[in-house]
Structure 1
Amino acid sequence: MIARELASWALGLDEVPAPVAEAAARHLLDGFGTALAAARTGAAAPAIEVARGLGGPPEAAVLGTDDLVSAPAAALANGTLVHALDFDDTHAGGLVHATAVVLPAAFAVGQQVGASGRDVLAAAVAGYETACRVAAAAPHGFHERGLHATMVAGVFSSALIGARLLGLDAETTAGALGIAGSQAGGLLAFLGTGASTKQLHPGFASQSGIVAARLAAAGATGPETVFDGPRGVFDALSAHPADPASILDGLGERWETTRIGIKPYAACQLSHATIDAVRDAMAREPFGPDEVAGVHAVVHPDSAPVVCDPGRDLTRPAGPYAAKFSLPWTVAALIADGNLSVRTFEPDSIARPEVSRLAARVRWEVATEPGVVAADAPGRVTITLTDGREVTGSVPRSEGGGDRPLGRAALLAKFAGNAGVPPAEAEEFAHLLDTLGEQPDAAVVVRAAARLARPTHSEQEN
């Protein structure tokens, strides 16, 4: 059974190869940064309020605070914090936000049991491999069914992380994966509204995975056939035929942790290739928004239903998340402002009529021969100016992943901006994660994040 083999591998993972550990440290740094940005802007306030209300034994901290609640409650808040601005990383093969479900479980349970940095790092890598591989076994299959792959796959990674850190054996861990499968879900119904449910999905997944591990430890059982079927997660939740065996393919030899991309923009990953293509066009021949007569983009067939859905108003988004998932509006905002930032997607920004008018001039066609998964697809645009000139732009794939990874300087700048701290403090925090495997207590990272979030830093930024 896949669940048993995956559990055995994860529990036996002892030495994490240096390149994999380095990749995990990069993504954990990015995740702490996006969480601190959400904390600073209040983007995850409801989840934090509920986590505090749930309380429980003082096991783990809500990120950016000194508040201790139960590990499942902390994971609910922290998963929401990491993902609240949709600025967190993405694994292209499964289109899954891996750190949003890995970081909360690893540090909440790690803090609960007093785990070392080495233990948390190994658990996190096992979680990264699980989330990415489960989602990639059914590329866009969950999305096509109307489900968020991050939540579907995330319950399994969080359960595995929890089981490893709690010291469960392989049989019990496989059972935890089976229990987690009954909590997989996450509706994409938010796409046409201003609802914030997508922000909550990683929190739900992290919380549910930890609870699944605890239930297994207490004697509850789950089906080890959760991946193999019949009536397993792929049979029930994927709209396309899946390849469950690929979860184990090259496990421990090919590391998906090193293939996760880091976002330079706080918008849906499926728009990033087009965004970069527009930036390429703007660099080739500068022009202003008033000079744009029309924009024509070539979009991957799996991207179009998500960011170009004609069934909703793509020019006047219903809320920040609707704007992040509108390719026309995002492209228009980029042309209007010259860049995209977290500020771009705040309510007063998305209400600008001049951006909506420009978004109405954005058209697209679906690529007939995509060749690659959507998040790895090339970007191509043609921008027609009012004087009749045409400016083209193209990129082989979006920046941040694949052969276009975000460099160290850009990653640190992103973290410093998200956390609202000077570069020197960003470097200091990054060093903690670079040396996570050497830390006797992984909670030192959580405490450092709380210090960065204290009001003096916001005052410095202002």
Structure 2
Amino acid sequence: MAGAVRTGAVSAAVTVAAELGGPQGATILGRGLRVSAPAAALANGSLVHALDFDDTHAGGLIHATAVVLPAALAVGEQTAASGPAVLDAAIVGYEAACRIAAAVPHGFHARGLHATMVAGVFSSALVAARLSGLDAERTTHALGIAGSQAGGLLAFLGTGASTKQLHPGFASHAGILAARLAAAGATGPETVFDGPHGIYDALAEGHADRASIVRDLGQRWETTRIGIKPYPACQLSHATLDATAAALATRPFRPGDVDHIVARVHPDSASVVCDTSRDLTRPASDYAAKFSLPWSVAALVVDGRLGLDTFEPDSIRRPEVAELAGRVHVEISPSDGVAADAPGAVRVVLRDGAEIHGSVPRSAGGPDNPLTDEGLVAKATGLAGRDATPLFDAVRELDRHPDLAPLLDALALLLPSSAKERP
């Protein structure tokens, strides 16, 4: 979110949210402007996901914080909730989003839908319902209402469209509205998950393990399985990128040395980041580049790194990257488990006939190979352009505070415009 504010990403969502206005219940972060909670969640959800550098739950292949944090902050601020209450609601949201998506791995994506938005309307509805004090009956109605707003087309993949960035904002906005409608007496189908014409029947491909949504609830915590991205690109490319980095570390080579590169890729990953129905070597937009495994691998070899600047307009038009991307080939390699937690392996064949191999059991940043606390602070500091340590301190102390003011103040310090414009 800090990186998006700094770079001016999704300015349209922020502008529209500000124009929606409403009762001054919640803050548009990075603007210091107070608007209605649904409007703030629309802007903040879009900001969190704007750079595709936010966290990922591998089992559900969703960006959980992008649909949990906006609702938790907006409704938490609106209701003057305590820090512990906001944390409680957030964990409810995390468990819901991750479990709903993981019940049908890759199933929403296979139908051309963004699982983050599909699952996110439910997590946002639960967060809002919990912070608003809704009882079980009205919370059930909120979930049923939210289901009619689930969606999010993957049509952006082959175009320059910014809709993927907006999906978490849509989900957060819709979930809060669903909870408010339920509180006002609107009803929704209690069969939204397990009945005919529910979301899995209508929106998912393949078998959905509906019982898994509540299996071991309170004992097995999917919240702890959320990983932090080290690269600002689609999570499904990360294992291959790590394997490429491992090959470079084994024996450094230059782009001109390469005859071709072969990457072994999980079939569910290949359908998203190796889709040959679009040009994977000359991406149409920054998002198209982030969703092209061949281009991202080529950029890593050319530059020796991947950062936000890798996906700037001038960068994605570089002919030397496009040329090398055309020499990156994919072998479909089924493996046990989900695509986002699959191993990565590359074989780099040099022009002199030598081969360099790189492999990783899974990508970095996940629960089994996490970033360090220092790595997290460094990532946030780099995105914000200033020291993020005070923000981390505020997060660590959230369970001791009677409201969100210390956290919002820390965000205001991290984002100077907030400090200047907050009343």
SS at match of 1:393: strand
Q: Which residue of 2 aligns with 1:209?
A: 175
SS at match of 1:184: coil
Q: Which residue of 2 aligns with 1:149?
A: 115
Instruction: Give yes or no for the alignment of 1:439 onto 2:401.
Output: yes
SS at match of 1:302: helix
Give me the whole-angstrom Cα distance separating, in 2, the residues matched to 1:59 and 1:348.
40
Q: Which residue of 2 aligns with 1:7?
A: none
Which one is further off, 442-451 or 378-387?
A: 442-451
Q: 2:340 aligns with which of 375, 398, 408?
A: 375
Q: TM-score, normalised by structure 2?
A: 0.98
Give me the whole-angstrom Cα distance separating, in 1, the residues matched to 2:40 and 2:411.
14
Give me the whole-angstrom Cα distance separating, in 2, the residues matched to 1:420 and 1:165.
33
Q: Which residue of 1 aligns with 2:411?
A: 449
Identity score, percent: 67
Instruction: Give yes or no for the alignment of 1:347 onto 2:313.
Output: yes
Give me the whole-angstrom Cα distance separating, in 2, the residues matched to 1:419 and 1:158.
26
SS at match of 1:381: strand
Give me the whole-angstrom Cα distance separating, in 2, the residues matched to 1:56 and 1:80.
19
Q: Which residue of 1 aligns with 2:384?
A: 419
What code does the residue aligned with 1:440 have?
Answer: P
Instruction: Give yes or no for the alignment of 1:241 onto 2:207.
Output: yes
Instruction: Give yes or no for the alignment of 1:97 onto 2:63.
Output: yes
User: How far is 1:293 from its partner?
Assistant: 1.3
Q: Which residue of 2 aligns with 1:401?
A: 366
8 Å CA contact 2:32, 2:418 repeated in 1: no
The 1:315/1:429 distance shift into structure 2, 3 A limit, reads same
Once the two structures are superposed, residues 66-107 of structure 1 have per-residue CA deviations (whole angstroms, 9 ceiling, x without a partner) of 100110000000000000000000000000100000000000
Q: 1:337 aligns with which of 291, 300, 303?
A: 303
Q: Which residue of 2 aligns with 1:30?
A: none
Give me the whole-angstrom Cα distance separating, in 2, the residues matched to 1:444 and 1:74.
18
8 Å CA contact 1:91, 1:261 repeated in 2: yes
Q: How many pairs does the alignment contain?
A: 419
8 Å CA contact 1:295, 1:361 repeated in 2: yes
Which one is further off, 125-134 or 443-452?
A: 443-452
Instruction: Give yes or no for the alignment of 1:260 onto 2:226.
Output: yes
Q: What residue ranges of structure 2 are gaps of 5+ in the alignment?
A: none
User: How far is 1:65 from its partner?
Assistant: 2.3
Alignment of 1:110-259 (within 5 A): 110-259=76-225
Once the two structures are superposed, residues 338-365 of structure 1 have per-residue CA deviations (whole angstroms, 9 ceiling, x without a partner) of 0000111111110111110110110011
Q: Which residue of 1 aligns with 2:356?
A: 391
8 Å CA contact 1:66, 1:447 repeated in 2: no
8 Å CA contact 1:302, 1:374 repeated in 2: yes
Give me the whole-angstrom Cα distance separating, in 2, the residues matched to 1:283 and 1:437.
42
Once the two structures are superposed, residues 92-127 of structure 1 have per-residue CA deviations (whole angstroms, 9 ceiling, x without a partner) of 000010000000000000000111111000000000
Once the two structures are superposed, residues 259-290 of structure 1 have per-residue CA deviations (whole angstroms, 9 ceiling, x without a partner) of 00100000000000000000000000011112
Give me the whole-angstrom Cα distance separating, in 1, the residues matched to 2:277 and 2:418.
45
User: How far is 1:440 from its partner?
Assistant: 1.1
Once the two structures are superposed, residues 368-406 of structure 1 have per-residue CA deviations (whole angstroms, 9 ceiling, x without a partner) of x31110000000000011221110000000000031011
8 Å CA contact 2:412, 2:418 repeated in 1: no
8 Å CA contact 1:376, 1:402 repeated in 2: no
What code does the residue aligned with 2:342 have?
Answer: A
What code does the residue aligned with 2:392 have?
Answer: A
Give me the whole-angstrom Cα distance separating, in 2, the residues matched to 1:456 and 1:155.
27
User: How far is 1:455 from its partner?
Assistant: 6.2
User: How far is 1:230 from its partner?
Assistant: 1.1
8 Å CA contact 1:88, 1:97 repeated in 2: yes
Once the two structures are superposed, residues 235-262 of structure 1 have per-residue CA deviations (whole angstroms, 9 ceiling, x without a partner) of 1111111011100001000000000010
Give me the whole-angstrom Cα distance separating, in 1, the residues matched to 2:163 and 2:402.
37
Give me the whole-angstrom Cα distance separating, in 2, the residues matched to 1:192 and 1:342.
20
What code does the residue aligned with 1:421 have?
Answer: R
8 Å CA contact 2:31, 2:417 repeated in 1: no
What code does the residue aligned with 1:269 have?
Answer: Q
User: How far is 1:442 from its partner?
Assistant: 1.5
Moved runs in structure 1, 4+ residues, more than 2 A? none
Alignment of 1:25-40 (within 5 A): 35-40=1-6
8 Å CA contact 2:30, 2:418 repeated in 1: no
